[in-house]
Amino acid sequence: MPTLSTQTLAVVRRVWAARLRVDERALASCGVALVEREDLDAVVVVALGESVVATGPAAALGTLASLEVGQLLVIPDLLAALRDHAPVPIGAATLAYAEPSAGTPTAPPPATRSAACWTPATSRTGTRAACGR
């Protein structure tokens, strides 16, 4: 399977880290990083390779700490974990990356999976900004 160059992976990590306002190391390590962002009224979960980063208010992130890594990107599991926060699903996406030097891919290229952004039903302010829309 074609892989991305180290430089391209670094750019992808840097862009996502800036977008989520997290340290780039959170997207370069294996495992889950829960990053408190009290300026958000949404939870955003992004997986890049073996790294998963969830950003959002502390109260919401506390409920995600008990989930397995795989559950963080499964919408019904997120809904169940966030049920006390009246979650409203906004959407999910899978983004694939390629570079010209990789040639024609024979298998899916490395991807970023983004589980839904969530916002309390009573407060949708900031949701589009948090979701990158």
120-133 per-position pLDDT tens digit: 443 333 333 333 33
Provide the residue ranges of all domains of the chain, joining segments of one domain with +: 6-128
Token duo for residue 133: 């829309």
The contacts of residue 45 (CB under 8 Å, 6+ apart) are 52, 53, 54, 64, 72, 73, 78, 114, 115, 116
Structure pTM?
A: 0.72
Res 41 pLDDT > 80: yes
Residue of 113 and 44 predicted with greater confidence:
44
DSSP assignment of 32-100, as one string? Answer: EEEEE-TT-SSEEEEEETTEEEEEE-HHHHHHHTTS-GGGGG-HHHHHHHTGGG-EEE---EEEE---G
Q: What percent of the chain has pLDDT over 70?
A: 74
